[in-house]
Structure 1
Amino acid sequence: MVKRNINAADTVLDVIVYTVLFLLVAVTVYPLLYVILASLSDGDLLLAHRGLLWKPLGFSTLAYERALANPAVWSGYWNTVQLVAGGIAVNLTMTILGAYVLSRRHVLWNKPLTIFVVLTMFFHGGIIPFYLVVKGTGVLNTLWALLLPFAVKTFHLIIMRTAFLSLPASLEESAQIDGAGHLTMLLRIVLPLSMPVLAVIVLYTSVDKWNMWFYPSVFIQDKALYPLQLVLREILIQNYTDNISAGVSAGDVRKVGETIKYATIVIATVPVLLVYPFLQKYFVKGALIGAIKG
């Protein structure tokens, strides 16, 4: 066993590294901690408080009771779940098919210039072309307006194509000798060996759809179809607290609304925090596989 000689320079470097990491963690974690503590605080005490927050100010769950009793929050949850599920299905299907075609060897698609041209076609063109496409296809004010324009993302396509190219060519040749077609090779060979990359694409797509609010604000006019993040935006920016503050006196609307804002942020964030640990083990591996070979 080789022993490492630790000198003063190594010690100083370690102290600097751990200090920087601690500060980064603190800067990242504290805002979330503040939101949680504020959501559990009394409205009057929270409005009067200034500075950092290290514990709930007069523990209260009223904000969560009001937020969860709001129909807009639950309809937003349901719309977001549909958006995430549909986004994963559409994006994963189109990305897999596109990446498989672009990763085939000895075909025109494998030429660098052709690949560049094809991939460039998938880059986002901005809100105006999206709006014209959505309006022209008749899906304006439906959840399809948030799925079809984003069916393929270039970044996802590049990652998955690179992962497919990293698979041994001998597997494809053996399958062809056994009479396997492209669909069989894709479903029984390529995809089972690419699970880490698929997990990465699922995670990227899930977070993207879960946090989507700008395009829904453009394409969706019916409040019954608002995803959760748009409901949250209404609460945070436009004081969308009519249903939430029902039964609360006029003088108490502000203090209840203040804590409800934080409670709604927690409600909207928790699902992502719960799902991420289960996909984390695939995340680094899949991202590296999609980046080491072009």
Structure 2
Amino acid sequence: MSRTAQAHRTARPAWMEKPKPVTQAGKAIALVVTVLLVVIPFWVVIATSLAPDAQVVENGGWALWPDEFSFRAYDKVISGGVVTHALLVSVGVTVIGTAASLLCTVLLAYALARPGVVGGKPMMLLILFTFLFPPGLIPSFLVVDGLGLRNSYWALVLPVLINVFNLVVVRGFFQGIPEELYEAARLDGASELRTLFTIVLPLSKAVIAVVGLFYAVGYWNDFFRAVLYLDDSGMWPLQTVMRGYVTQGQKFTDDASQMEMTVQAPQTIRMAVVVLGTLPILCVYPFLQRYFTKGVLTGAVKS
């Protein structure tokens, strides 16, 4: 692309006024304040987890900058066995749950997006009804208990396998794919599954990435479902264990199946658990962020 064409694309539209210096300064100040409101609390948590216990106690439970950087809190948390096991549980539930949810959501959304599917409209109305009137806590518990899923990790996955909002988003994206692509696939003799996996999914990387991130964050951050369905605290995921460390002052013994209420854990250990519970999603997000604004259909249908 020539420089003239690039300048024409980046030029300000004729109808848009040139921003005033006061407006630009206000936007910059608002952006800086927003960034500081997000970064400073997270840095305080990290700094507290790396600071010595004496400094944290002296400063009233927090540290803005550690006098001495120490990973003693992380070593104590990980070597204890409970958090390590809970972290593995969370990773397994998140990976398996996200993969299963994406597969079921994509298959159901593709079926509902294609015209002429038998029972497609009643099925869609039924799904939307569950979105408007979700089941209560007691009916959900009775269903999980009746299916024999209590005290198993499937109780953390199957009840929330398909999210209606994510299903509607994926279905709408599939409906926006030009019909000419489907017709071309049918003329080439492609089956519906082949059309889905060779044509539709390559064009749907953006929505799959976004919905996959929604599912992963939901599975990773869920703590209440484990409390409700898992009687053995040794099976709890990281977020549930972290809740006990941070909010209830629980102390977990070396035996992952035992837990007792005692004096709250040191602030450094509590903040280390918070960092361990937050860091994985922060590491994954940058790799998916580019799909949020990427136009995957640009040039899909050539004139």
Report deviation, 1:12.
0.6
Higher relative contact order (CA 8 A, sep 6+): 1
- Partners of 2:106 and 2:269 in 1: CA distance: 41
1:216-261 CA-to-partner distances (Å, cap 9, x unmatched) read 11111112210011111111123233437xxxxxxxx76x622100
30, 51, 63: which is aligned to 2:73? 63
Report deviation, 1:50.
4.3
- Partners of 2:144 and 2:197 in 1: CA distance: 32
Structure 2 length normalisation: TM-score? 0.83
Q: What code does the residue aligned with 2:148 have?
A: G
The answer to whether the aligner puts 1:277 opposite 2:280 as a matched pair is: no
- Partners of 2:112 and 2:242 in 1: CA distance: 40
Cα distance change on mapping 1:142 and 1:33 into 2, 3 Å = same
Provide the residue aligned with 1:154 in structure 2. 164
Cα distance change on mapping 1:88 and 1:288 into 2, 3 Å = farther
- Listed as ranges, the matches of 1:119-130 within 5 Å are 119-121=128-130, 124-130=134-140
Report deviation, 1:116.
3.8
Tell me the percent identity.
35
Provide the residue aligned with 2:259 in structure 1. none
- Partners of 1:151 and 1:77 in 2: CA distance: 21
Cα distance change on mapping 1:288 and 1:57 into 2, 3 Å = farther
Does the 8 Å contact 1:159/1:287 carry over to 2? no
187, 200, 206: which is aligned to 1:190? 200
Quick check: 262-271 or 57-66, which moved more?
A: 57-66
- Listed as ranges, the matches of 1:28-67 within 5 Å are 28-50=38-60, 53-67=63-77
Secondary structure of the corresponding residue to residue 192 of structure 1 = helix
- Partners of 2:217 and 2:126 in 1: CA distance: 28
Q: How many residues matched?
A: 279
Does the 8 Å contact 2:204/2:296 carry over to 1? no
Does the 8 Å contact 2:131/2:164 carry over to 1? yes
Give unpaired runs (5+ residues) of structure 2.
1-6, 255-262, 299-303
**CA RMSD of the aligned region, Å?**
2.9
The answer to whether the aligner puts 1:229 opposite 2:239 as a matched pair is: yes
- Partners of 1:193 and 1:90 in 2: CA distance: 20
- Listed as ranges, the matches of 1:129-278 within 5 Å are 129-243=139-253, 257-278=266-287
Report deviation, 1:53.
4.2
Cα distance change on mapping 1:230 and 1:104 into 2, 3 Å = same
Does the 8 Å contact 2:48/2:64 carry over to 1? no
- Partners of 1:153 and 1:137 in 2: CA distance: 20
Does the 8 Å contact 2:61/2:267 carry over to 1? no
Cα distance change on mapping 1:120 and 1:31 into 2, 3 Å = same
Provide the residue aligned with 2:3 in structure 1. none
